[in-house]
Amino acid sequence: MKRICYPLLFLSPALLFAQEVDQSALAKIRKEGLENSKVKEIAHHLTDVTGPRLTNSPGFQRAADWSVKQLKDWGLKNASLQEWGEFGKGWQVEKSYLAMTKPYYMPFIAIPKAWTAGTNGALTGEVVVVDIQNEDDLKKYAGGNLKGKVVLTRSAADTDPGFKPDANRYTAEDLEKMTNSQPFGQSSFNPEQMERLLKMRSFRSKVDSTLKTQGIKLELAGRTGKHGTFFTSNGASYKGDSPVAGPAFEIAPEYAGLIARLAESGIPVTIEAESKTTFYDKNLKTGNVIAEIPGTDPKLKDEIVMLGAHLDSWHSATGATDNAAGSTVMMEAVRILQATGLKPKRTIRIALWSGEEQGLHGSRNYVKNTFGDPQTMKLLPAHEKLSAYYNIDNGTGRIRGIYLQGNEGPRAVFEKWLGEFKDIIDNPTVTSRNTGGTDHQSFDAVGLPGFQFIQDGIEYNTRTHHTNVDTYERLVMDDLKQMATVVAAFVYNTAQMDQKIPRKELPKPRTATGVSR
């Protein structure tokens, strides 16, 4: 029979609920967060000034260096880029140009695939369209008949007109459904979905490898999306010992469709292209930005409350909603706490993660190095010291509640804390549901309370998540202000509690799996 820790799950919430919220502290947090916000300035630096932030690229390093300096300037302690281990090669685009020249001139919306080689100067060529959806399709092109060709791999994108808005906020009915759903009823990636996704990535890698072996001149990869927006992906391996992939562009689906239709009509299509990319492989290791507000209570200062977001992004835009938004919010939250002069009992630690987009590498390795290994469940002393970890990684949309990840222990206290913000949170919601694919999962994997906030989707899944238009303009500043204020309150309240946030039963040892959303 599975052992359940009833005292932890069912007695602690009542004790937590009895603890009053410090209204004076809350008023200071509200005033600083809503009236003196710095989210515009922070977001501007992390997007416009820094540029794309692919892990181990110069852009990521710029963002990390600026964040460390800013956190130090605000008075946080122990601010540094804390190394967690080997990631692999950095990479960035130095030049990118793609256009159709025959049957007429048309510039294309496109970007080199991540971690692919450049073209070594300008090139031209007639396009061959291939349709490779499975292993049998791949065998058709194994005979060397693509050597020296420019190859377009078809897009499966739905480019039909859309009759739903790109941007949405949750309705009361939507939130009610979340409230009443089962603890593990829905997840971004269940085991079956995870397996399919990993197989899809493996197959895509095999396609790229086969095309390179065939000696093609250039690959054009049609991507999903519409209206000039396309969703980027991992172009090739970033591992230090991996061979360099041949030149390749990801291309908006409308232009992939144009080429395919012309070719099917028997009209030759010629393109010209030039890309220049740089690999950074002298140092394959990387780190996370870490900083602290030290605790002040003699008995509790060694305990930790963490908040975090991933700092890295994809390369086709400036990663505004994914996830400069989350990093901005978390930096602003600790700035608010510093500006108010509040003195938390527990230590508050912010983390801005690297390598999230390639598989939660930064947070997973931090958790493994600091708290315990989910594969063996061999726990380190710091595991007992963490109260909770709070995460933001669902775009620019304001907070509407919090996912419990199946941990019913803190429900009452979270409901109370959210209730303090009913004027800026419509229908505040606490749901047992788990949500997957981002850094709170690294904590949950070793039995630590890790939580992601429920956020309005805005344009996240339709327009900005991993796309070429994820820029500063997609950020809703009033939403970022609201998020930072709520997060600051949650973090401060957690730091002041008489006891730590309740925990679920420890998971069994397992092989860690998962990928980024």
- Read off the pTM: 0.92
Q: What angle do CA 212, 213, 216 make, to 5 degrees?
A: 50
Sequence ranges of the domains in the chain: 23-85+284-351+391-496, 90-280
* Rounded Cα–Cα distance for residues 255 and 270 (Å): 13
pLDDT of residue 191: 53
pLDDT of residue 42: 98
Q: Which two tokens stand for residue 450?
A: 């890790």
* Rounded Cα–Cα distance for residues 456 and 442 (Å): 23
* Rounded Cα–Cα distance for residues 317 and 47 (Å): 9
Per-10-residue mean pLDDT of the chain, 517 residues long, equals 38 55 97 98 98 98 98 98 97 98 98 96 95 79 82 84 90 89 50 62 74 87 92 85 93 95 96 98 97 98 98 98 98 98 98 96 98 97 98 97 96 97 97 92 97 96 94 98 98 98 93 46
In the three-class reduction of DSSP (H, G, I as helix; E, B as strand; rest coil), residue 466 is classed as coil
In the three-class reduction of DSSP (H, G, I as helix; E, B as strand; rest coil), residue 74 is classed as coil
Q: Does domain 23-85+284-351+391-496 have CATH number 3.40.630.10?
A: yes
pLDDT of residue 11: 43
Residue 106: other Cβ atoms inside 10 A: 14
In the three-class reduction of DSSP (H, G, I as helix; E, B as strand; rest coil), residue 162 is classed as coil
By C-alpha distance, which of 387, 316, 322 is closest to 349? 387
**In this structure, is the dihedral angle defined by the CA atoms of residues 190, 195, 200 and 205, taken in order, positive or negative?**
positive
pLDDT of residue 194: 54
Residue 138's identity, in one-letter code, is: L
pLDDT of residue 514: 45
pLDDT of residue 2: 35
Q: What is the CATH number of domain 90-280?
A: 3.50.30.30
**In this structure, is the dihedral angle defined by the CA atoms of residues 361, 365, 367 and 373, taken in order, positive or negative?**
positive
Q: Which two tokens stand for residue 45?
A: 């630096």
* Rounded Cα–Cα distance for residues 496 and 55 (Å): 35
pLDDT of residue 510: 75
Residue 458's identity, in one-letter code, is: I
Residue 235: other Cβ atoms inside 10 A: 24
**DSSP E strand boundaries for 354-385:** 372-373, 378-379
Q: Which residue has the tokens 């870490």?
A: 290
